[in-house]
Structure 1
Amino acid sequence: MEKEIERLRRNVSLAKAQGYVIDDDDDLQSQLQSPIANSAYSHTRNPSLMGSDEAVTSLLTLKRGGSYSMPATHYAYELEQVRLTEQDVVGLFQEFFRSYHPFLPFLNESQSPDLYYQQHALLFWTIIAIASRRYSPKPSILHELSSGPLNRLLWSTVGDVPNSYFVVKALCLLCTWPLPTSTTTADPTHILCGVMMKAATGIGLHRPNHTQDFSRVSVELNKDQLHDRVTTWAVCNIVAQAIGTGYGQPASTLYDWTLAIRPGEDGPFTLSPELEARLRIERFSDKVSKEMYSNASDPRGVAGDEHRAMLMRVYRRDFQELQTSILSQRLSPIVDVHLKAAAVHLRLAGFFDASTTPGYMDDLMGLWRAITGFLDVLFLESNKRILLYATNYIQQMLVAAGFALLKLMRSFFAKTIDFERGRTLFHKTINAIRSTSVLDNDLQWRLAELMVQMWNGARLDNSNNEYHDDDTPMLIDDSLQLKVRCRHSMSLVFDSIWRWREEYQAQGRGTLDSSSTHMDSTLLPQNNLANLGSISTNGGLTPTPNHSLNNGGNSMIGIGYGSDANYDFFDPQHWMLDGLLDFNYTFAQPLEAT
């Protein structure tokens, strides 16, 4: 601290020598003593003093928005080339707390943006980045931040071994609404989740009553501070579980005494009804993942068919009890959406079953009902904002539901359901996934285009999928079983991509043109499409680009299933979507088979 203060004093002297006028030295000296002063900077630019940017930057590291000789309109906050006025920041913070904070209500809405900045620059700029996702007054901010500045601030903070309570809060938000990416391997969310949990336990958030055990000095928290830490720790686990489920990976959660449910108790360890319900839902999802996909005696971790069938019966009852309890509280629609998503997570295990598993058709019907229930709630007109500002987890479950619909509707199971309903629901799902895209050619946009091609390639025909006649025996096979089985309930997503690649994109097999990225226009009236989000169309179902996250002009067409493509074995989605798949509607012809 002494070295930092000395360095800052030298910078002030340098600034004075270069012509800067400081009206209140005493106030500036008090800033020098503040532990809030840090090296992440924002500064006000004085165009009358050209060539002094370094001095200005150093000066305003100490005091942002002080009494300087400056024009009336100035940039109050800067991160590299991203510059925002006070008015910009106020508008963005209002957007964040109005549209995004209800998904994860753990921050203080009455706290000023400047105080968030003083707590930690990463927390401040993370809120700005999330709020800018659909902020029409300044539509370029998200692209400017995600192009490098925020990533550099993030990784420099992580590289300094964060021990700040406010960095943990920032990571919670960044893991919930990651910066947009067009590739799966460029997505650091799973890694950041681990950093978030380790940073949280490193500063003792999981033991808030004994914070001094993790500090070099004695720490005494008042009731409000203790409650804030308990709430933040609960949010860490909610986020970590959602990431484990959405990415098909073991969750790095820690459910112990601190997060135990205490009915009737009122104190600092009591969560708000919304967060308590969310925590209960995620604990249920954790139980499903650990029991069904963490079998120590199986090389892929999957429970055996009989054991899984037994677990399914147990967890069906558990879910019904959970659903009854939560719905009786009449909480927000966001809680209801997450409850339906947990049901999808449970029921997706049906794709792991063999056709001879007891209750096989009943499990598939339960999966169908869980998927349609999740989508029906998500597509309600009253829930339109949930879809528009959806978290990464909701987007991932939406994609999983879309792939599940497609898989069920191209199988023998299609004869047991209302095919037209499934067809319409899939159509809505495609448009919903597109509407969650925040930059053109980001991952959501590309996944939607891939699903359209899979639909067109499957050549689904209503005439071949009419209701099954009970007098005619139905041929039930194992075509719904998964090859990819190591990604928990999300194995379906990765398996679907692998199968599509194998069936429709092998060398020398068939051609595709730009029309294959458009759904057939008979599925849904055009006036119904507008209800799924603020997306514009070019006459078909392909939205018109507004922003770009294009990483090249490569096409996935012509790359064979057995080719030497450079992909990461950890993530088969990378093979399909990184470099090989770039939907710019310019498709190359396939290579000739040799």
Structure 2
Amino acid sequence: MKAKACARCRQCKLRCDSDVVGPAPCSRCRAVNVVCVVDTNYQRVSKTRRLMELEAEVTRLRQQNQSQSQGQSQSQNQPQPQTENQNQNQNQNQEQDPLAGLGNIGTPVQEPPPFDFASYQAQPQQQQESNVSQQAHPLGPAPAPDSLQTQYSFLLPERGPELDSANFQLTAAQVTQCFRTFSLQCHPWLDFSIPTSPEAVYAKNPLLFWVICAVSSSTNTMLKLQPGIQAMIGKVVVNPPRSVETVQALLILCMWPFPFYSTLDDPSFVYCGIATQIALQIGLHRPGLSQEFSKRKEVLEIDDHVRNGTWMACYIVSQTQTARLGLRHPIQADFAFLHHILETPEYSNTSLVGLCHLSRFTAQFTSIIGADAQNQSGLLEPYARIGMVKYFKKELETLQKTHFPKMSQVIELSFLTSRLQLLSFVLHDDIPQSPDIIELFYQAELDASALILTASERNLSRCPFHLARSVLYAALVLIKIVASPYAQQPQVIFDQITLASRTLSTAIKVPNDHAERWSRHLQQLIAIRDFKRTPSVRSRMSASLVYDTIRVLKEHLDATSPAPAPEFPVWMNPETTAGLIDLDGLNWDSLGDML
């Protein structure tokens, strides 16, 4: 096949007009006065490979410069001819193009020397910051000669430097790639202000540095970093530092947790509580009054932009964690939060403010409808519940028109999740059949289908954990609707549940983790019926739908059942009985701990 673009345009992924103006050079090569070469065998070099080659080349040149400097200092007392020979060799090396090897794919990449983490921890805090600040980025200014052996690589002990366990290290190229991935794929979901330089983050807070590397790296790297990060968090629990970076690190871990088996094994709710307590201690909830909470220099020097953004992130993550467990939101939206933080000019057009408005509204209606009634469960009576759902549904539409008429995908997914949580209050079994709720069931079906369809377009392995949870929640809403007399198109609903199961499979990180089990059990839930052997769950607010599903599963638990079948059909035909699942062969023990 004849090449239509020159090598330079193909490398930069730009449109080339060499096939039009040829044999003359293309317009881009002619503008920069370079040779225009059209090669059918040319293969472009990726940016990651170029960065690694550039890093290796700069490292080699700096080490060569160091050796030459040491040689010149040793030869000061020797005859002049030897000095001239050294100058000639130096001039010859300087005449060589330091970037000549970047175009050669076969150029070997040298591994940088390791970063001495143990000696770093043994130094005083001020000395640590001084040493780390001297470890410049490979593309930045050259460091001092005596620090060339302690740069370009970061090393994390798995169990602490005092134990003889294997260490895990990341090169500077890997760290740079992790920070780039976090900035592009993770940070838009929780858009608070953090330094973009890995060296700056490492100097301020190593925990934040390693958390960013863990959540934005591969699953294998994340699992290797997990023991060391958990050991560092254990020290935070014993001696909580008054650091905004520690708060940010814990919030990121709540959004992108390590793989877990069930909700009981996930420490995200505990991490969120620790982050909130540290934020309260350093006065993030009182902008402009930080001096009343601490006299420490590192606390007083926190920028107001960082303060407001981090506290808004605390509010959002806390609401997400409590809604997941069916608990009240512990942070109150007081005057300072509504009139000083949410109205911050720097965050006026960011997704962080929109998420705060949705979190505040969701916390408000879940408490009023599901926790403030004058009864033991706190849930409003059926007719009062229907009226409040209709009222808050209109208020949510007004909120959308006022604050985010044009929603980004992050806001849209949170908006659909919030409205599904509101409509879930009419899915309880005590709601009487009435024409008034047909519209609410129809809206719930539309929102659940839209959420699953939107989430299916993304790779959930890079998305926050709560998005996979929202997909599961939407699928459970559809299962509840298809079992009601208001289901209009059951076959379409079954297709959406299948799509939700496949979407959750993209979030699988390790075998038999929460995402894999959710994906596997969604199809099985279609064939299960509620026999009402125990009362329905009513006290978990919007999460009652999830915990009531667990109740239904546990009702089918039979300790004397035979060994479960190894495989279950992926698809079940709801119109016939040929595809129904054999409930006698179902492993109810594994289903009981699904969430």
TM-score clears 0.5: yes
| C-alpha spacing 1:82/1:248, structure 2 compared with 1 (3 Å) | farther
Shift of 1:558: 7.2
The answer on whether the counterparts of 2:157 and 2:228 sit within 8 Å (CA) in structure 1 is: yes
The answer on whether the counterparts of 1:405 and 1:422 sit within 8 Å (CA) in structure 2 is: yes
User: d(CA) in 1 for partners of 2:454 and 2:553?
Assistant: 29
The answer on whether the counterparts of 1:45 and 1:75 sit within 8 Å (CA) in structure 2 is: yes
Q: Of the candidates 410, 415, 425, which is equivalent to residue 334 of structure 1?
A: 410
Equivalences for residues 436-475 of structure 1 within 5 A? 436-455=507-526
The answer to whether 1:502 aligns with 2:555 is: yes
User: d(CA) in 1 for partners of 2:238 and 2:519?
Assistant: 35
Q: Deviations over 1:329-357 (max 9, x none)?
A: x2421111111111111111112352427
The answer to whether 1:514 aligns with 2:563 is: no
User: d(CA) in 2 for partners of 1:106 and 1:53?
Assistant: 28
The answer to whether 1:409 aligns with 2:482 is: yes
Structure-1 residue corresponding to 2:220: 140
Structure-1 residue corresponding to 2:88: none
- The AA in structure 1 aligned to 2:308 is V
Q: Deviations over 1:21-80 (max 9, x none)?
A: xx9xxxxxxxxxxxxxxxxxxx9649xxxxx99657636983345755877997333233
User: d(CA) in 2 for partners of 1:55 and 1:164?
Assistant: 23
3-state SS in 1 of match to 2:153 = coil
Structure-1 residue corresponding to 2:503: 432
Q: Of the candidates 297, 306, 315, which is equivalent to residue 237 of structure 1?
A: 315
Shift of 1:229: 0.7
Structure-1 residue corresponding to 2:432: 356
The answer to whether 1:249 aligns with 2:330 is: no
Shift of 1:410: 3.3
The answer to whether 1:576 aligns with 2:593 is: yes
The answer to whether 1:325 aligns with 2:409 is: no
Q: How many residues align?
A: 453
User: d(CA) in 2 for partners of 1:73 and 1:220?
Assistant: 29
3-state SS in 1 of match to 2:169 = strand
| C-alpha spacing 1:250/1:394, structure 2 compared with 1 (3 Å) | same
Q: Deviations over 1:195-226 (max 9, x none)?
A: 1111111110011211000013589968x911
Equivalences for residues 487-566 of structure 1 within 5 A? 487-503=540-556, 505-509=557-561, 512-516=564-568, 518-520=569-571, 557=587
The answer on whether the counterparts of 2:461 and 2:506 sit within 8 Å (CA) in structure 1 is: yes
Structure-2 residue corresponding to 1:58: 122
Q: Deviations over 1:514-535 (max 9, x none)?
A: 221x412889xxxxxxxxxxxx
The answer on whether the counterparts of 1:176 and 1:393 sit within 8 Å (CA) in structure 2 is: yes
| C-alpha spacing 1:99/1:481, structure 2 compared with 1 (3 Å) | farther
Shift of 1:360: 4.0
| C-alpha spacing 1:312/1:480, structure 2 compared with 1 (3 Å) | farther
The answer to whether 1:112 aligns with 2:197 is: yes
Shift of 1:321: 0.9
| C-alpha spacing 1:276/1:107, structure 2 compared with 1 (3 Å) | same
The answer to whether 1:95 aligns with 2:181 is: yes
| C-alpha spacing 1:221/1:362, structure 2 compared with 1 (3 Å) | same
- The AA in structure 1 aligned to 2:554 is R
- The AA in structure 1 aligned to 2:538 is R
User: d(CA) in 2 for partners of 1:455 and 1:446?
Assistant: 15
The answer to whether 1:186 aligns with 2:262 is: no
- The AA in structure 1 aligned to 2:479 is L
User: d(CA) in 2 for partners of 1:166 and 1:219?
Assistant: 11
The answer to whether 1:280 aligns with 2:333 is: no
Q: Of the candidates 437, 462, 469, which is equivalent to residue 389 of structure 1?
A: 462
Shift of 1:480: 14
Shift of 1:153: 0.9
The answer on whether the counterparts of 2:191 and 2:352 sit within 8 Å (CA) in structure 1 is: yes
User: d(CA) in 1 for partners of 2:239 and 2:113?
Assistant: 26
Structure-1 residue corresponding to 2:277: 198
What RMSD over aligned residues (CA atoms) do the two structures have, in Å?
Answer: 3.6
Q: Deviations over 1:77-100 (max 9, x none)?
A: 323322111111001000100110
Structure-1 residue corresponding to 2:58: none
The answer to whether 1:290 aligns with 2:363 is: no
Report which of the two structures shows the higher radius of gyration computed on alpha carbons: 2
3-state SS in 2 of match to 1:514 = coil
User: d(CA) in 2 for partners of 1:116 and 1:71?
Assistant: 21
- The AA in structure 1 aligned to 2:178 is L
| C-alpha spacing 1:271/1:122, structure 2 compared with 1 (3 Å) | farther
User: d(CA) in 1 for partners of 2:117 and 2:206?
Assistant: 20
The answer to whether 1:129 aligns with 2:221 is: no
| C-alpha spacing 1:507/1:266, structure 2 compared with 1 (3 Å) | closer
Structure-1 residue corresponding to 2:419: 343
- Most deviating of 370-379 and 95-104: 370-379
Q: Deviations over 1:272-296 (max 9, x none)?
A: 4322111111111011111012225
- Most deviating of 250-259 and 185-194: 250-259
User: d(CA) in 2 for partners of 1:72 and 1:558?
Assistant: 55
TM-score (norm 1): 0.68
| C-alpha spacing 1:511/1:500, structure 2 compared with 1 (3 Å) | farther
| C-alpha spacing 1:507/1:217, structure 2 compared with 1 (3 Å) | closer
Structure-2 residue corresponding to 1:585: none
The answer on whether the counterparts of 1:163 and 1:203 sit within 8 Å (CA) in structure 2 is: yes
User: d(CA) in 1 for partners of 2:279 and 2:120?
Assistant: 35
| C-alpha spacing 1:558/1:324, structure 2 compared with 1 (3 Å) | closer
